[in-house]
């Protein structure tokens, strides 16, 4: 720590991204990225603007992208905020609406970044424990005076709560902000975005990193009341007016417009996920069925830590958590059918090897 670093950041926790080792080639299934490229229309749009765009600033209002997203979900651009990934959108929410000591809550097991934000912004935060079956106890969030941050479906459990439950949380108190992170909503879940028409204390956040196969482009967005979006833009213009590159703006708009490609990729991920989950169950693994682009499972006879290490040795990266409640589980991103068959094969081999050793 340098002489200049602020005292208040001494105990800040920084987010630890999924590992990206470079010592060999890995099948990277630890960060819920995509095994498919973005829509060809995205590359086309980026190529056609690339050369002239570099010599000029991007549109600080990101109008083309906000309009495209708005049209897709039935909102005017004034109700859409775009940022450098959902993470930055959440960051702008924090900067705009939260200050040290303010009370928020989120689950004990969820996307790690919420804790990071809560410590960075020195919030008074509570992490409500998930129920025994690892689902969210909705009552905790209905009957609290705290602002709420929830990932729906949750990460890494993959469990979703219905929109009617979100509505109960939102409707309880219009003076409480509710932020719903729908990073995985497109994989067969109902979005709560339509509740924005009825409630002015709801912020719905989505990302292009999962279902639109573009984590490297860094595009996320929020849909909320025109007032909330205008507040966030005010902060953005006071902090980083050109937060989105021209490539992200035109590429993102093209991705939204190519609905056919979007649906084909989603259907494929869902099909492969079901095949993979079925196969795991047939092999005797315990599977928590998800509606996301990842699977969450535990092995009856090999510790998750060992499985994770052995998979890495054979060139496959998956996510293992140290949190005691889920340290017997692994989270694995759904890749192509071929990739997942390779994983199943490896899992079988590792278990056999462990069994031999035990005998």
Ligand X SMILES: *Cc1c(COP(=O)(O)O)cnc(C)c1O
- Residue nearest to ligand X according to CB distances in the complex: 85
Q: What angle (nearest 5°) sits at the alpha carbon of residue 315, between those of residues 311 and 320?
A: 40
Near ligand X by CB under 6 A: residue from 181, 231, 277, 328: 181
Near ligand X by CB under 6 A: residue from 123, 151, 180, 232: 151
Q: Which residues inside 212-231 make contact with ligand X, applying CB under 6 A?
A: 215, 220
Distance CA 145, CA 168 (A): 14
Residue (187 or 297) nearer to ligand X, CB: 187
Task: Establish if 209 lies at the interface with ligand X (CB under 6 A).
Answer: yes
Task: Establish if 165 lies at the interface with ligand X (CB under 6 A).
Answer: no
Near ligand X by CB under 6 A: residue from 177, 183, 193, 196: 183
Distance, C-alpha 120 to centroid of its chain: 19
> CB of 161 within 8 A of CB of 138?
yes
Stretch that binds ligand X, among 82-90, 167-175, 194-202, 338-346 (CB under 6 A): 82-90
Phi, psi angle pair for 187, to nearest 5°: -90, 60
> CB of 119 within 8 A of CB of 12?
yes
> CB of 220 within 8 A of CB of 255?
no
Task: Establish if 207 lies at the interface with ligand X (CB under 6 A).
Answer: yes
Identify the DSSP state of 32.
-
Distance, C-alpha 96 to centroid of its chain: 21
Smallest separation, CB 174 to ligand X (Å): 25
Residue (173 or 190) nearer to ligand X, CB: 190
Near ligand X by CB under 6 A: residue from 46, 62, 82, 86: 86
Classify 316 as helix, strand or coil: strand
> CB of 13 within 8 A of CB of 119?
yes
Distance CA 159, CA 178 (A): 19
Q: How far is CA 135 from CA 37, 148, 149, 181, 350, in A?
A: 32, 16, 15, 16, 30
Smallest separation, CB 151 to ligand X (Å): 4
Task: Establish if 128 lies at the interface with ligand X (CB under 6 A).
Answer: no
Q: Is 122 exposed, middle or buried (0-12, 13-18, 19+ CB in 10 A)?
A: middle
Residue (210 or 298) nearer to ligand X, CB: 210
Q: Which residues inside 102-121 make contact with ligand X, applying CB under 6 A?
A: 111
Stretch that binds ligand X, among 80-88, 192-200, 276-284, 335-343 (CB under 6 A): 80-88
Residue (45 or 180) nearer to ligand X, CB: 180
Task: Establish if 155 lies at the interface with ligand X (CB under 6 A).
Answer: yes
Task: Establish if 255 lies at the interface with ligand X (CB under 6 A).
Answer: no
Residue (160 or 299) nearer to ligand X, CB: 160
Residue (136 or 347) nearer to ligand X, CB: 136
Q: How many residues bind ligand X (CB under 6 A)?
A: 13
Distance CA 130, CA 114 (A): 15
Classify 287 as helix, strand or coil: strand
Residue (15 or 355) nearer to ligand X, CB: 15
Stretch that binds ligand X, among 15-23, 79-87, 227-235, 327-335 (CB under 6 A): 79-87
Task: Establish if 87 lies at the interface with ligand X (CB under 6 A).
Answer: yes
Angle between helices 63-73 and 246-257 (to 10 degrees): 20
**DSSP alpha helix (H) spans, the chain:** 40-54, 63-73, 86-97, 113-120, 138-142, 163-171, 226-239, 246-257, 259-282, 304-313, 337-358
Smallest separation, CB 357 to ligand X (Å): 35
Task: Establish if 32 lies at the interface with ligand X (CB under 6 A).
Answer: yes
Stretch that binds ligand X, among 84-92, 126-134, 314-322, 332-340 (CB under 6 A): 84-92
**Which residue ranges make up the site for ligand X (CB under 6 A)?**
32, 85-87, 111, 151, 155, 181, 183, 207, 209, 215, 220
């Amino acid at each position: 720590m340098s002489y200049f670093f602020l005292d208040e950041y001494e105990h800040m926790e920084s987010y630890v991204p999924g590992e990206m080792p470079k010592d060999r080639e890995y099948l990277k299934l630890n960060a819920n990225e995509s095994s498919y490229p973005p829509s060809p229309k995205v590359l086309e749009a980026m190529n056609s603007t690339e050369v002239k765009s570099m010599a000029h600033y991007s549109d600080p209002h990101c109008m083309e992208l906000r309009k495209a997203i708005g049209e897709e979900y039935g909102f005017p651009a004034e109700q859409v905020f775009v940022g450098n990934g959902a993470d930055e959108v959440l960051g702008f929410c924090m900067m705009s609406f939260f200050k040290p000591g303010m009370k928020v809550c989120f689950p004990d097991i969820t996307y790690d970044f919420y804790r990071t934000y809560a410590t960075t912004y020195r919030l008074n935060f509570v992490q409500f424990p998930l129920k025994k079956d690892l689902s969210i106890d909705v009552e905790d969030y209905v009957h609290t005076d705290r602002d709420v941050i929830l990932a729906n479906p949750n990460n890494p459990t993959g469990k979703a709560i219905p929109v009617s439950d979100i509505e109960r949380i939102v409707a309880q108190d219009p003076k409480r902000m509710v932020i719903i992170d729908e990073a995985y909503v497109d994989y067969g879940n109902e979005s709560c975005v339509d509740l924005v028409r009825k409630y002015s204390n709801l912020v719905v956040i989505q990302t292009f990193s999962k279902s639109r196969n573009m984590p490297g482009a860094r595009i996320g967005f929020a849909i909320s009341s025109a007032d909330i979006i205008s507040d966030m833009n005010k902060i953005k213009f006071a902090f980083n007016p050109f937060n989105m590159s021209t490539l992200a703006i035109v590429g993102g708009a093209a991705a939204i417009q190519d609905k056919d490609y979007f649906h084909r990729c989603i259907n494929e991920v869902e099909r492969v996920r079901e095949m993979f989950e079925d196969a795991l169950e047939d092999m005797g693994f315990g599977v928590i069925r998800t509606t996301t682009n990842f699977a969450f499972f535990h092995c009856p006879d090999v510790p998750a830590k060992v499985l994770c290490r052995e998979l890495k040795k054979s060139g496959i990266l998956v996510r293992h958590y140290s949190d005691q409640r889920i340290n017997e589980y692994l989270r694995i991103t759904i890749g192509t059918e071929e990739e997942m068959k390779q994983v199943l094969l490896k899992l079988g081999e590792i278990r056999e090897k462990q069994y031999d050793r035990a005998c």
